[in-house]
């Protein structure tokens, strides 16, 4: 299957997560109160750091998530599938909670500036992970598919590196622009 088709699969999986996030009852947030508190503490901690350190932290966190998903994608493609659906779910669920407390405009101001880079990076990187993982899995079972493994790795690493590169402006915007829009 071509990389382009894997991009559509990645978009679909993220969309499935978004639908589940939008349909999750907000009362579920009570069960996640400790997780939400931990997330708020992380945001406060990041705000207390020098901006350059925050950019590096956000970039490393996001890049390492993509890289680990790619590395472990041959395990039934589960890491990229989970990354796409869980990120979609979290994005929608947290957006609903915040929009109820603040406004939809507040959510959009907090997401759109860096999301323009980060969401395509997620889709591209996870599509590369799905593509490589599928080829690796098929190579285990079909000897004639093993010759496709190295070319697939090289091609998908290119897409992964583009995705990682997109995370740089996303981290910069998330650190410097987003806080200005949310005040």
pLDDT tens readout for residues 72-101: 999 999 999 999 999 999 999 999 999 999
pLDDT tens readout for residues 109-159: 999 999 999 999 999 999 999 999 999 999 999 999 899 999 999 999 999
* Residues 163 and 128: beta-carbon distance below 8 Å: yes
pLDDT tens readout for residues 2-43: 999 999 999 999 999 999 999 999 887 777 777 777 877 887
The C-alpha atoms of residue 165 and residue 62 are separated, in whole angstroms, by 11
Helices 51-71 and 78-101: crossing angle in degrees, nearest 10, is: 140
């Amino acid at each position: 299957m071509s990389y382009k088709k894997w991009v559509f699969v990645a978009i679909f999986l993220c969309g499935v997560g978004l639908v589940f996030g939008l349909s999750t009852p907000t009362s579920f947030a009570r069960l996640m109160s400790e997780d939400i508190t931990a997330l708020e503490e992380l945001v406060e901690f990041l705000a207390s750091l020098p901006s350059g350190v925050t950019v590096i932290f956000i970039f490393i966190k996001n890049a390492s998530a993509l890289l680990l998903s790619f590395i472990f994608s041959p395990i039934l493609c589960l890491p990229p599938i989970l990354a796409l659906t869980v990120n979609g779910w979290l994005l929608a669920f947290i957006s609903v909670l915040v929009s109820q407390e603040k406004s939809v405009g507040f959510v959009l101001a907090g997401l759109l500036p860096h999301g323009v880079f980060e969401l395509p990076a997620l889709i591209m990187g996870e599509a590369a992970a799905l593509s490589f993982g599928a080829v690796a899995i098929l190579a285990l079972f079909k000897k004639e598919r093993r010759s496709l493994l190295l070319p697939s790795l090289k091609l998908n690493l290119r897409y992964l590196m583009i995705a990682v590169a997109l995370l740089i402006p996303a981290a910069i915007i998330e650190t410097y622009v987003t806080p200005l829009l949310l005040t």
